[in-house]
């Protein structure tokens, strides 16, 4: 499997969806890097709103015109990646630690396109990926104890053993669950814990899922599309 090629093909397809004069939100992660690189080659006359400092630096360095939600209340499109996507287009996101900002930007978009390689499609959320939870550094151990009631939380650490710090100045706790049967309810339960800023469950956010695979890319627009694709009918 050459997953990087699958990502690139899907990213290039997503970049072609951006039209002149659009206002477009950009997520974060390795697939979005490929989207930004493809956009830099196409050079659409669009304005982009990055959801992370890493995406902002890359997009700026490649010459894309940037703006912010302080200037634009509504976006035509949001392009982002995901760690897992299920048949309902519910997702786990946040391995890059930018899920709080990504939720805000996605909430301002008329249309949200998720770009993934086929390995990110799952029958049920939580099969492989933990749920990233952004928490306040204040009383982080207290918040972790509360999260432990729901799953198995682990504070995300960097190479030097110190906690990873998000663009918002907070920490990330990755919570592993045996099974996530009701993502919407779990999303709410996590966010009700004092000290939690936001979590990486994205429910009812994606409009389309663009999947890179062995023979190109496929756009999924419904649960039927998803099930047909994983059964090999598309």
Enumerate the active-site residues. Answer: 102
Residue with tokens 């690139």: 8
Is 169 in contact with 134 (CB distance < 8 Å)? Answer: no
Taking CA atoms, 9 is separated from 77, 93, 221, in Å, by: 19, 21, 18
Angle at 114 between CA 85 and CA 107, to 5 degrees: 100
């Amino acid at each position: 499997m050459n997953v990087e090629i699958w990502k690139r093909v899907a990213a290039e397809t997503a970049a072609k969806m951006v039209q002149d004069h659009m206002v477009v939100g950009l997520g974060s992660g390795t697939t979005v890097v490929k989207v930004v690189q493809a956009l830099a080659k196409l050079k659409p006359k669009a304005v982009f709103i990055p959801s992370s400092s890493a995406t902002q630096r890359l997009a700026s360095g490649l010459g894309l015109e940037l703006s912010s939600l302080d200037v634009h209340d509504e976006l035509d499109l949001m392009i982002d990646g995901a760690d897992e996507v299920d048949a309902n287009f519910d997702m786990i996101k946040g391995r890059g630690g930018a899920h709080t900002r990504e939720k805000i930007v996605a909430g301002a978009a008329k249309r949200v396109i998720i770009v993934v390689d086929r390995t990110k499609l799952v029958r049920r959320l939580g099969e492989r990926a933990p749920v990233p939870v952004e928490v306040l550094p204040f009383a982080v151990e207290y918040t972790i104890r509360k999260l432990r009631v729901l799953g198995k939380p682990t504070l995300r650490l960097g190479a030097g053993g110190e906690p990873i710090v998000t663009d918002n100045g907070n920490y990330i706790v990755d919570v592993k669950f045996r099974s996530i049967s009701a993502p919407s309810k779990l999303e709410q339960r996590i966010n009700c814990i004092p000290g939690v800023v936001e979590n990486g469950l994205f429910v009812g956010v994606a409009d389309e899922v663009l999947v890179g695979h062995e023979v190109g890319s496929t756009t999924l627009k419904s649960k039927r599309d998803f099930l047909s694709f994983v059964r090999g009918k598309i």
